[in-house]
Structure 1
Amino acid sequence: MRRLPPLAAVRVFEAAARHQNFTAAAEELGMTQAAVSYQMRVLAERLGVPMFRREGRRVLLTDPGARVAAELTRAFDAMDAAFAGLRADDERLLTLSCTNTFASTWLAWKIGGFQVAHSDMAVRMLTSDALTDFISDDVDAAIRAGRGGWPGLAADLLLPVDFTPMCSPAFLAAHGGRIAAEDLLTVPLVSPHDPWWAYWLAEAGVEAPEGSLRSGIRLDSQAHEGHAAMAGQGAAMLTPFLWRKDLAEGRLVLLSDQVSTRGYGYWFVCPEHRRRAPKIVRFRTWLLAEIARDRSA
């Protein structure tokens, strides 16, 4: 059994001995000078010998203090080296939780650019629409849909979630080449149970009482709904930014210039106390720059 003095006092002593200054030790350890002095009294009482002596405003090591100071510094250096490998491993891997829609329509197409720019770091992406538990899920950061304001999380808005109906060119052609807002009450829809339909139609001046929309396939994410629309399964309510490539390449067409929103957005979130972790800073900086570039294109 080891007969060690209080380790908190030992840690403070090592810093004070290395600096030969209580104020500098306090700054390094995030303590007050009074707390450093207290820990030195605790250590002296436990060991039965003083570790420092005062000369005017200076503190100097006593002979017993000088005998153990160098050994303790080497011991702390060894411990720091032992944990350095773990810190390095942690910095090389960022685990990110991401919604299915954002992952498949945007991030999966872009993540290779981050890996090229940061070849010393890997991103492990977990796709799920469930809220992340940062402790039990062992996740560093997440891309989450919502209105923000999550307690304990730092959140950066990536883009607002807006929506408008889209379909495939073939579907549009099969319905006469034009589908007006009122026609959406009678044509096949993808996920007609989605409350966005009623909201968008109301803003378009079309009353859609409950049950008035034509029944259609029900899917669990916008990612699946967009692909169903491209396959000609019906008109889908989609976010233009996420489908701009498919719109540009003619796989989808807009049915209206009207774009609605309910105040939701996609956010990059992480625990507040981890916000300045280097790997999170690197990924967040890259992500915000890529989003800004695509939104301005």
Structure 2
Amino acid sequence: MRDPLAGLPLSSIRVFEAAARLNSFTRAAEELGMTQAAVSWQIKALETRLGFSLFRRLPREVQPTEQGERLSRAATEAMTLLRRAFAEVTEADQGVLSITTLTTLATQWLAPRLGAFQVANPGLAVRLDTSPTIIDLARSSFDVALRSGDGDWPGVECAPLMPSVFTPLCSPALCERLGLKEPADLVDAPRVGDEKEWAAWFACAGVTTTTNPASRLRADIQGLEVAAAMGGQGVALGSPILFAREIEAGLLVRPFVQTVKLSKGYFIAWPEDRRRSPKIARFRDWLMAEAAADPDIAAEIALTPA
């Protein structure tokens, strides 16, 4: 059986529903933001396609014909259901903020602050996902991403949050046992992490080394490597910003001030076609204010060459 709606544009049904409900092409045009001529043309095209008249044209109004009246009731019911469904979906979407972020950034910096954001935005729930891979925001359901990189990703806009700087971190006991006094002392020390990153740090610290002892541990997550260092397994490269609390509490020692930049920084990113989304704007503004007020970020920016 042929679908009677096949080929009928939804826009024409929407125009018909408004005109039948208001008994006026003019008022329908005002409601829909169209011209009266455009409404009249849409109705005429629909009548031609159906093969019968939908309205009786009177001097000051239009009235649905018997067939038009039957269709108008169904059209009004259908449009009401559609409006309700779209409103529910829109409200649900605006009620949940989905964030994808790096694990260590989430656990060490973002999560301890999210409570303040939720107190300030009680009608907005937060869904937090941690992933080491870069998710395509344009093709996913996530609203924002917190990423480390160069800040140049297709289809998104972004703003810088903090520098991506790394420095040696270790337990107080290991620092004392190794007698760390200068960066060169780390050449033969047990190390955790990627040796290429360590080579970059040595270069920034002005240390020339021909030895390259294998790392005891290498993980995809910065937090795991620093946790191993905290447990005395070696010296790890970690962010002095993200692990500022552990350094202040004496759980970790930062033997040297020298840092290495492994990327242009950490950024907040959002789809460019959703820059005006209220929930994205609220979170973006709040997060950037948090970063601007963080004294540890300010301290590292002051220490890091441009």
* CA distances 1:220-268 after superposition (whole Å, capped 9, x unpaired): 2211122222222222111221111112222222222222314432222
Matches within 5 A, 1:136-175: 138-175=141-178
- Aligned partners of 1:172 and 1:179 also within 8 Å: no
1:224 counterpart = 2:224 = yes
TM-score normalised per structure 2? 0.77
Aligned to 2:187: 185
Measure how far apart 1:15 and its partner are: 5.9
Aligned to 2:277: 277
Q: Look up the SS of the partner of 2:241 in the other structure.
A: helix
Distance (Å, rounded) in 1 between the aligned partners of 2:129 and 2:164: 21
The change in CA–CA distance for 1:279 and 1:42 in structure 2 (over 3 A counts) is same
Matches within 5 A, 1:81-160: 81-134=84-137, 138-160=141-163
2:27 maps to amino acid: Q
Matches within 5 A, 1:42-61: 42-47=45-50, 48-49=52-53, 61=61
How many aligned positions are there?
286
Aligned to 1:265: 265
Gaps spanning 5+ residues in structure 1: where?
A: none
Q: Look up the SS of the partner of 2:267 in the other structure.
A: strand
Aligned to 1:20: 27
Measure how far apart 1:16 and its partner are: 7.3
Aligned to 1:202: 203
Measure how far apart 1:110 and its partner are: 1.7
Distance (Å, rounded) in 2 between the aligned partners of 1:14 and 1:161: 57
* CA distances 1:105-139 after superposition (whole Å, capped 9, x unpaired): 11122222222222222212121102224477643
* CA distances 1:172-218 after superposition (whole Å, capped 9, x unpaired): 11122x33111111111111x34221112112221234x52454222
2:199 maps to amino acid: A
Q: Look up the SS of the partner of 2:167 in the other structure.
A: strand
Q: Look up the SS of the partner of 1:254 in the other structure.
A: coil
TM-score normalised per structure 1? 0.79
Distance (Å, rounded) in 2 between the aligned partners of 1:106 and 1:23: 51
Distance (Å, rounded) in 1 between the aligned partners of 2:281 and 2:46: 40
Aligned to 1:10: 13
1:89 maps to amino acid: A
Q: Look up the SS of the partner of 2:218 in the other structure.
A: coil
1:200 maps to amino acid: W
The change in CA–CA distance for 1:271 and 1:135 in structure 2 (over 3 A counts) is closer
Distance (Å, rounded) in 2 between the aligned partners of 1:41 and 1:207: 83
Gaps spanning 5+ residues in structure 2: where?
A: 300-306
- Aligned partners of 2:96 and 2:126 also within 8 Å: yes
- Aligned partners of 2:195 and 2:214 also within 8 Å: no
The change in CA–CA distance for 1:220 and 1:262 in structure 2 (over 3 A counts) is closer
Measure how far apart 1:278 and its partner are: 2.8
1:142 maps to amino acid: A
- Aligned partners of 1:153 and 1:270 also within 8 Å: yes
The change in CA–CA distance for 1:246 and 1:104 in structure 2 (over 3 A counts) is same
Pairwise CA RMSD: 3.5
Q: Which moved more, 1:180-189 or 1:273-282?
A: 273-282
- Aligned partners of 1:95 and 1:123 also within 8 Å: yes
The change in CA–CA distance for 1:8 and 1:236 in structure 2 (over 3 A counts) is same
* CA distances 1:85-123 after superposition (whole Å, capped 9, x unpaired): 333233222222211111121112222222222222221
* CA distances 1:11-59 after superposition (whole Å, capped 9, x unpaired): 24556786637577347xxxx9997675355234335548698x9xxxx
Aligned to 1:251: 251
Distance (Å, rounded) in 2 between the aligned partners of 1:225 and 1:6: 58
